[in-house]
């Protein structure tokens, strides 16, 4: 069985980093990820540069992306869509949440307002970009940094609204990495009662070290698309306490050892994030990356 990995390192991994990374270094990072076998790569965000300065170069980055990847970018509103369309983005990701407190802090809108904005974005995108792909994120699907435990019924409600708007898939976000496998199992069962597995991706952060166990829980129920970030970089600037994403290195190791095919070369992947880690002054922390690098010494 094949599993889809959506590499979010260049976007989720970098958005929270204060040290400005030059556009060319981002392009080199993305090229190395592609060369390691990752095909779906969330490359940047067309959000307000005041809110996320690190990704202010989205429009400059886009034309420099190496051929061969399926690149996507976050789009929060009509202005972001216009910027994205002007450089030829054909895969966009809209993002809202299952907690109003979070959407307010993250995009300065309520959930309802965000869905209203997305309706217009979808219409413009579909008419301007035939064959385009749209992902809809549902953040804080388990816990919200501002409002605590989130009801699964709210996740189902927001997911239904996004799918009714015509998004091609939803990505269920454990934004602050607080979920346990039991909670993932419970929510996944509810999601699968409503939507086909092919429409659902899971997006785990690894704050408490439960991300791989959460992947396993979702996999057993039939989910086959997972988001992760090379070296486990990441976090949301508007979600205090959110540590890095599940490391792609750990995810690839786990999936391959479970007999699933990822198409990713673990050794090339371990190397791919080293220059960015160096620029950020961060040590290698992902366990599978550490082990891979040690095995090559």
Cβ closer to ligand HMG: 29 or 238? 238
- Half-sphere exposure for 65 (CA within 13 Å, toward CB): 26
Cα dihedral across residues 235, 173, 276, 30: positive or negative: negative
Q: What residues line the site for ligand HMG (CB under 6 A)?
A: 12, 15, 45-52, 74, 76-77, 79-80, 83, 95, 106-108, 137, 139, 173, 175, 203, 205, 236, 238
Q: Look at residue 129 and give the partner it binds from Mg ion, ligand HMG, none, a contact being a CB closer than 5 to 8 Å depending on partner kind.
A: none
Catalytic residue among 236, 269, 276, 284: 236
144 is catalytic: no
Q: Which residue is nearest to ligand HMG (CB)?
A: 173
Least Cα distance to 139 among 93, 189, 208, 182 occurs for 93
In the complex, what is the shortest distance from the CB of residue 102 to ligand HMG, in angstroms, rounded to a whole number?
A: 9
Least Cα distance to 38 among 247, 284, 288, 294 occurs for 247
Residue 42 contacts Mg ion per CB under 5 A: no
> Given the structure tokens 């307000």, which residue do they identify?
48
Least Cα distance to 296 among 261, 265, 262 occurs for 265
Angle among Cα 234, 239, 240 to the nearest 5 degrees reads 95
Are the C-beta atoms of residues 208 and 238 closer than 8 Å to each other?
no
For residue 201, the cross-strand partners are 171
Cβ closer to ligand HMG: 77 or 266? 77
In the complex, what is the shortest distance from the CB of residue 229 to ligand HMG, in angstroms, rounded to a whole number?
A: 9
Cβ closer to Mg ion: 11 or 161? 11
Count of residues in contact with Mg ion, rule CB under 5 A: 1
Cα dihedral across residues 143, 147, 153, 156: positive or negative: negative
In the complex, what is the shortest distance from the CB of residue 214 to Mg ion, in angstroms, rounded to a whole number?
A: 14
In the complex, what is the shortest distance from the CB of residue 85 to ligand HMG, in angstroms, rounded to a whole number?
A: 12
Cβ closer to ligand HMG: 10 or 270? 10
Residues at the contact surface with Mg ion, assessed by CB under 5 A: 12
The catalytic site residues sit at 236
């Amino acid at each position: 069985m094949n599993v889809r990995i959506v590499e979010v390192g260049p976007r989720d991994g970098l958005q929270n980093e204060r040290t400005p990374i030059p556009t060319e270094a981002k392009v080199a990072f993305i090229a190395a990820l592609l060369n390691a076998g990752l095909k779906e790569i969330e490359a940047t965000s067309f959000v307000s540069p005041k809110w996320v300065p690190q990704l202010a170069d989205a429009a400059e980055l886009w034309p420099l992306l190496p051929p061969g990847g399926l690149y996507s970018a976050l789009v929060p509103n009509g202005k972001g869509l216009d910027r994205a369309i002007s450089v030829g983005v054909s895969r966009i990701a809209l993002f809202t949440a299952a907690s109003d407190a979070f959407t307010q802090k993250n995009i300065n809108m309520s959930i309802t307002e965000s869905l209203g904005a997305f309706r217009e974005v979808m219409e413009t995108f579909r008419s301007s970009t035939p064959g385009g792909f749209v992902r809809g994120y549902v953040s804080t699907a388990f816990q919200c940094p501002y409002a605590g435990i989130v009801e699964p019924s709210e996740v189902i409600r927001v997911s239904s609204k996004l799918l009714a708007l015509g998004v091609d898939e939803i990505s269920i976000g454990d934004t602050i990495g607080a979920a346990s496998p039991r909670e993932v199992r419970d929510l996944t069962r509810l999601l699968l009662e409503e939507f086909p597995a092919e429409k659902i991706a899971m997006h785990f952060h690894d704050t408490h070290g439960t991300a791989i166990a959460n992947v396993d829980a979702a996999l057993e129920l039939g989910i086959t698309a997972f988001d992760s970030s090379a070296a486990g970089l990441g976090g949301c600037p508007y979600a205090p306490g959110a540590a890095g994403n599940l490391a792609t290195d750990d995810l690839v190791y786990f999936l391959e050892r479970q007999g699933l095919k990822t198409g990713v070369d673990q050794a090339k992947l371990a190397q791919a994030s080293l220059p960015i880690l160096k620029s950020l002054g961060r040590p290698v922390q992902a366990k599978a990356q550490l082990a891979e690098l040690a095995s090559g010494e």
